[in-house]
Structure 1
């Protein structure tokens, strides 16, 4: 597929009947859920799952989504969501990009960017990224950024 970044993390998705809204296509809220699922799976692949977040008392929390809906997806469509770490400040903020493609026709259905802030789970306050985040997310940025 023609990805916007080299070798992104990818997640296959399928549009099911519960994803369809009154206009007959996948609802915009479903796309947001897919963004979250793809980001989590990528983080898990990097060794940064929920258990590790809890152990470190840190998490990457969403502060902003920017989504461009470029084409509609319909029930039965097979899709592939790609994600990669686009940039970060190596302290608190990180930007992750996404691209959703329908392999049947090669159409990019969606492009998105999510901004995350590192927080301390116990307080909910912004805190510097721990070393495990710097190495895990940093390695992903070097590969895909």
Structure 2
């Protein structure tokens, strides 16, 4: 079992009872929450917190999620969610790739891509990324997997 790209930022997840739906597995909306948690944790590891977003009056907001649900996660399972920044125009947009895997059997449960746009928090309008975003997110940029 290997990651599809090198050196992911990894969020460790334990599937709890609160994640399980009537079908007995993690609900699809829970996966979206995990993507958000992973992206935020990665941003913070790069030195960009919500306080930095506020100070700079800028934020990277989701424009589009593409999610392929490949297998179910069940209560008590330990999972690893990896993320990479795979594209950035250095102006308004960037893209993350995600992979969710179950180390116990090597199964890939999810693959996802999220496109983000930079906005000015005070107005909600699209604005250029500040230099801190370009530098810190750019430092983490990796080549995307071939399709």
> What band does the TM-score fall into relative to the shorter chain?
over 0.9
Q: Which residue of 2 aligns with 1:76?
A: 76
Q: For residue 50 of structure 1, what is the aligned residue in structure 2?
A: 50
What secondary structure does 2:140 align onto?
helix
- Which residue pairs with 1:27 in the alignment? 27
* Superposition TM-score, scaled by structure 1 size: 0.97
1:7 aligns with 2:7: yes
Number of aligned residues: 143
- 1:4 Cα offset (Å): 0.9
What is residue 140 of structure 2 aligned with on the other side? 140
Tell me the residue number matched to 2:109. 109
* TM superposition shift of 1:19: 0.4
CA distance, structure 2, for counterparts of residue 83 and residue 102 of structure 1: 15
Q: Distance in 1 between matches of 2:4 and 2:94?
A: 18
- Partners of 1:96 and 1:57 lie apart in 2 by 22
Q: How far did residue 72 of structure 1 move? A: 0.5
Q: Secondary structure at the match of 1:26?
A: coil
Cα distance in 2 for partners of 1:55, 1:18 equals 34
Q: CA deviation at 1:90?
A: 1.1
Gaps of 5+ in 1: none
- Separation of aligned partners in 2, 1:114 and 1:6: 18
TM-score normalised over the length of structure 2:
0.96
Instruction: Please give the root-mean-square deviation of Cα atoms over the aligned residues, in Å.
Output: 0.7
CA–CA separation in structure 2 for the residues paired with 1:122 and 1:24: 42
Report runs of 4+ in structure 1 exceeding 6 Å deviation: none
